[in-house]
């Protein structure tokens, strides 16, 4: 092409990408088109506390839509959208640049700048059409028609949109400077932009919930780096994981993960020192028991405060009563918390839903691990009662039939049919594809309970109660024995994924068995077979370990849980392989996940399809995968931790370290490791490694070996 572009259209391959842009800050997020518009009838919007406060936000200049050029997202909560107005007929070039600087908090602010590059002034009519349907997150995700009826009115150069819901008064106030005219949901400015100059108008969308305006945490003016979200991220970057490596892919994946994890943190205004991690954007910007606990576990070497905040937050919401609709039971740790107006429809009438079989055990596991890393004893002691209540739930409501295993069966038609981490309706099936019927005892849930017993024994020992410690160790040993007797499939060489309602062994080959290695419940004489199957052609795709083997009846590489690859699942499997001494296998899993991360622009998604690496040059995306997603973002950090084989026992004065890092990542420096009051670094090069940061007279003895495997 030698001539100018005709009709002003951008040629293929130029300009902004086609994918939506997501901004997040705490539990608030905004999804828009690459040009910045929020289109009615699409799963776009500004969401505050699980409610869509903006369902339409369309900018026009002289009646025309700016053509997207690019999007810049230097911070997770802010973006700059660049667009140009179409050139005049017969002209090749545009002379008017449109800059939209957007910030989200508990609302949204947008600075709209028109930059005139022409030698003459230009008069422009700028319009912003806005709508709010106050739809619940579930309604938007399911593309259902919102139940609310909203009314809009202009009040003193502001647009006020009010929800028609009787049960909850909600309002959105859209306030613009420069005195815009407001008519029929449209704000209009008539602006004169001087030659070679620019003109800016600012608009704020302020959410009002039950009469209380939620203050937008981005003050007017610049620089934005002084705002609270920016300060939090700056502190997170400074105090969080620090890694230097020769491998560009690992460096980029870890950098992206650290940024995403910083952005996904939620701070409760009533307890700002109790941070937790939201499960993932866009649909799971809320506290989830299992997701938040596992993410906090993976981040524990660098941020013990996140583990403590997660434990405290979940303890404050621990089950107290029997309620079938929400599946709450005394001592049980919740599955998720929602605040939107349709939470009652989705979660049985309550903001908290408790339908999970594993979060209670994971709670106790994390508390024990926090103690190993030197968590403050008063804080640990204050949560021990909650751990005991969780264990009591495990042994009563969790094991309702008294067979020694925790089972689940939903108690409400609105609840989850499957209540382990693979919680889709068809996730648990036999080798021939038959769907297993509840109550179901999952193999990894028993593995978590085993680890919870071990953790509680450790807590008792630290408290000086050796009798209780011995009792909890005995429970762990008994569970390990009956688990290996009843879940092992000797003819196949792997553990059953679970036991069904008739105590039949659910014989599908799944990635769940890797979690049995992670916690140590697997007998040593069975570990080799488990490792071999995990790394077989049927399970290992080249991009990671599949959730279900290709030889199984329900296998589908494009399914959610029956053949896909999940980064967090792989990270736990790799940790398990390393625990049992299968170093090369753990390294191979690590390489695969890091390579996959490169193909996804260094941001690992929640999951991706399980097609073989030999079939396609890049992993195939799963269409509705969350990105960023908490435990996917944490997975590379867990993989790195496994390669370091770095494990402290602060109360015992010991620190084990025996790095097994592939040559491609060397030299490698990992710093910011928090062990008790110390901040340590590990430097690894070919054939040698060194720990720095220990006090000259350190209470920790460094042992150049992996920590002994946990056994019953």
Q: What string of H, E and C letters represents the secondary structure of 580-642? A: CCCHHHHHHHHHHHHHHHHHCCCCCCCCECCCCCCCCCCCCECCCCCCCEHHHHHHHHHHHHH
141 DSSP assignment: H
> In the predicted model, what is the mean pLDDT of the chain?
89
Q: What percent of the chain has pLDDT over 90?
A: 71
pLDDT at 345: 44
Q: Give the confidence band of 377 by pLDDT, cuts at 50, 70, 90.
A: very high
What is the arithmetic mean of pLDDT over 357-383?
Answer: 97
Kindly report which listed range (211-220, 273-282, 361-370) carries the lowest average pLDDT score.
211-220
Decide if pLDDT at 18 tops 80.
no
Q: What is the dihedral of CA 497, 498, 503, 507, to 10 degrees?
A: -10
Decide if pLDDT at 429 tops 60.
yes
Phi-psi region at 13: left, alpha or beta (left = phi > 0; alpha = psi -120 to 50):
left
Is the torsion defined by CA of 138, 333, 329, 382 positive or negative? negative
Backbone angles phi, psi at 554, to 5 degrees: -95, 5
pLDDT at 610: 97
Give CA–CA dist 169/147, Å, rounded. 14
pLDDT per residue as tens digits for the range 151-160: 666 666 788 8
pLDDT per residue as tens digits for the range 628-672: 899 999 999 999 999 999 999 999 999 999 999 999 999 999 999
Location of structure tokens 């609105």: 414
What is the CATH architecture of 240-652?
Alpha/alpha barrel (1.50)
Decide if pLDDT at 15 tops 50.
no
Determine the length of the chain: 712
pLDDT at 3: 28
pLDDT per residue as tens digits for the range 586-613: 999 999 999 999 999 999 999 999 999 9
The closest alpha carbon to 147, from 219, 66, 51, 64, belongs to 51
Give CA–CA dist 489/506, Å, rounded. 10
Q: Give the confidence band of 239 by pLDDT, cuts at 50, 70, 90.
A: confident
More confident residue, 584 or 169: 584
Q: Give the confidence band of 14 by pLDDT, cuts at 50, 70, 90.
A: very low
Identify the bridge partners of residue 510 per DSSP, sorted by sequence position: 548
Is the torsion defined by CA of 149, 154, 160, 166 positive or negative? negative
What is the CATH architecture of 6-227?
Distorted Sandwich (2.70)
Neighbours of 505 (CB within 10 A): 18
The closest alpha carbon to 263, from 71, 19, 74, 52, belongs to 74
Give CA–CA dist 522/712, Å, rounded. 10
pLDDT per residue as tens digits for the range 445-477: 999 999 999 999 999 999 999 999 999 999 999
Confirm if 249 and 255 have CB atoms less than 8 A apart: no
HEC profile for 376-409?
CHHHHHHHHHHHHHHHHHHHHHHCCCCCCCCCEC
Decide if pLDDT at 8 tops 50.
no
What is the arithmetic mean of pLDDT over 64-70?
Answer: 93
pTM, two decimals, is 0.87
Location of structure tokens 């390669």: 643
E strand intervals along 541-650:
646-649
Q: What are the residue boundaries of the structural domains of the chain, listed by start?
A: 6-227, 240-652
Backbone angles phi, psi at 225, to 5 degrees: -60, -15
Decide if pLDDT at 211 tops 90.
no
Decide if pLDDT at 221 tops 60.
no
Give CA–CA dist 271/537, Å, rounded. 48
Phi-psi region at 63: left, alpha or beta (left = phi > 0; alpha = psi -120 to 50):
left
More confident residue, 270 or 500: 500
Q: What percent of the chain has pLDDT over 70?
A: 89
What is the arithmetic mean of pLDDT over 334-357?
Answer: 73
pLDDT at 626: 85
Give CA–CA dist 81/10, Å, rounded. 16
Decide if pLDDT at 63 tops 60.
yes
pLDDT at 347: 53
Decide if pLDDT at 482 tops 80.
yes
**Tokens at 303, concatenated:** 């941020």
pLDDT per residue as tens digits for the range 241-262: 899 999 999 999 999 999 999 9
Q: Which residues contact 248 (CB under 8 A, 6 or more apart)?
A: none
The closest alpha carbon to 269, from 348, 339, 356, 204, belongs to 339
Decide if pLDDT at 17 tops 50.
no
Decide if pLDDT at 164 tops 80.
no
CA 408 to chain centre: 24
Give CA–CA dist 179/359, Å, rounded. 52
Burial (Cβ within 10 Å: 0-12, 13-18, ≥19) of residue 408: buried
- Give the SS3 label for residue 654: strand
Give CA–CA dist 337/288, Å, rounded. 7
Give CA–CA dist 409/440, Å, rounded. 7
**Tokens at 378, concatenated:** 């008063």
Q: Give the confidence band of 348 by pLDDT, cuts at 50, 70, 90.
A: low
Angle, in degrees to the nearest 10, between helices 443-462 and 466-486:
170
Decide if pLDDT at 504 tops 70.
yes
């Amino acid at each position: 092409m030698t001539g100018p572009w005709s009709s002003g259209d951008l040629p293929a391959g130029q300009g902004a990408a086609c994918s939506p842009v997501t901004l997040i800050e705490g539990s608030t997020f905004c999804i828009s088109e690459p040009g910045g518009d929020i289109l009615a009838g699409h799963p776009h919007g500004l969401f505050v506390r699980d409610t869509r406060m903006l369902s339409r936000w369309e900018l026009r200049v002289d009646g025309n839509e700016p053509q997207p050029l690019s999007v810049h997202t230097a911070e997770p909560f802010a973006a700059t959208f660049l667009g140009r107005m179409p050139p005049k007929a017969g002209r090749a070039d545009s002379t008017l640049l449109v800059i939209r600087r957007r910030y989200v908090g508990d609302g949204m602010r947008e600075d709209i700048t028109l930059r005139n590059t022409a030698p003459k002034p230009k008069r422009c009519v700028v319009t912003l059409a806005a709508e709010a349907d106050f739809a619940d997150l579930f309604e938007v995700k399911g593309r259902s028609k919102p139940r609310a009826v909203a009314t809009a009115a202009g009040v003193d150069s502001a647009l006020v949109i009010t929800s028609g819901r009787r049960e909850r008064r909600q309002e959105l106030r859209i306030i613009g400077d420069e005195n815009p005219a407001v008519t029929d949901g449209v704000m209009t400015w008539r602006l004169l932009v001087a030659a070679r100059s620019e003109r800016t108008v600012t608009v704020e969308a302020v959410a009002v919930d039950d009469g209380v305006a939620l203050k937008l945490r981005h003050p007017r003016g610049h620089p934005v780096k002084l705002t609270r979200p920016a300060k939090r991220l700056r502190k997170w970057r400074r105090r969080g994981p620090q890694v230097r490596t020769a491998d560009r892919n690992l460096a980029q994946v870890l950098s992206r993960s650290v940024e995403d994890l910083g952005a996904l943190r939620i701070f409760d205004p009533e307890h700002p020192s109790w941070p937790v991690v939201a499960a993932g954007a866009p649909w799971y910007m809320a506290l989830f028991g299992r997701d938040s606990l596992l993410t906090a576990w993976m981040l524990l070497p660098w941020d013990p405060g996140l583990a403590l905040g997660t434990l405290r937050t979940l303890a404050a919401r621990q089950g107290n009563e029997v309620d079938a609709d929400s599946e709450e039971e005394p001592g049980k740790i919740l599955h998720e918390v929602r605040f939107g107006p349709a939470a009652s429809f989705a979660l049985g009438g309550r903001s908290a839903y408790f339908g999970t079989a594993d979060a209670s055990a994971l709670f106790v596991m994390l508390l024990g691990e926090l103690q190993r890393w030197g968590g403050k004893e008063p804080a640990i002691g204050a949560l021990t009662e909650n751990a005991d209540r969780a264990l009591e739930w495990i042994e009563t409501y969790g094991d309702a039939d008294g067979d020694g295993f925790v089972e689940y069966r939903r108690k409400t038609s609105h609840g989850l049919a499957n209540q382990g981490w693979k919680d889709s309706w068809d996730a648990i099936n036999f080798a021939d594809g038959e769907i297993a019927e509840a109550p179901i005892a999952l193999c990894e849930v028993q593995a978590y309970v085993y680890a919870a017993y071990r953790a509680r024994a450790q807590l008792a020992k630290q408290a000086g109660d050796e009798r209780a410690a011995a009792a909890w160790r005995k429970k762990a040993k008994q569970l390990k024995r009956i688990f290996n007797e009843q879940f092992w499939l000797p003819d196949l060489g792997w553990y059953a994924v679970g036991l069904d309602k008739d105590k039949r062994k659910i014989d599908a080959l799944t990635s769940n068995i890797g979690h049995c290695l992670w916690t140590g419940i697997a007998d040593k004489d069975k570990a080799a077979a488990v490792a071999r199957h995990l790394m077989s052609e049927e399970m290992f795709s080249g991009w990671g370990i599949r959730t279900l083997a290709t030889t199984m009846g329900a296998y589908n590489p494009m399914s959610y849980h029956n053949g896909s690859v999940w980064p967090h699942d792989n990270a736990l499997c790799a940790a398990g392989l390393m625990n049992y001494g299968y170093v090369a296998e753990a390294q191979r899993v690590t390489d695969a996940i890091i390579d996959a991360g490169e193909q996804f622009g260094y941001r690992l998604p929640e999951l991706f399809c399980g097609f073989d690496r030999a079939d396609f040059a890049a992993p195939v995306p799963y269409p509705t995968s969350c990105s960023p997603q908490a435990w996917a973002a944490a997975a590379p950090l867990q993989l790195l931790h496994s390669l370091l084989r770095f494990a402290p026992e602060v109360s015992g004065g010991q620190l084990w370290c025996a790095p097994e890092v592939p040559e491609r990542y060397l030299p490698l420096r990992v710093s910011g490791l928090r062990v008790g009051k110390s901040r340590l670094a590990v430097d690894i090069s070919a054939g040698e490694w060194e720990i720095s940061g220990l006090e000259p007279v350190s209470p920790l003895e460094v042992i150049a070996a992996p920590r002994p495997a946990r056994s019953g």
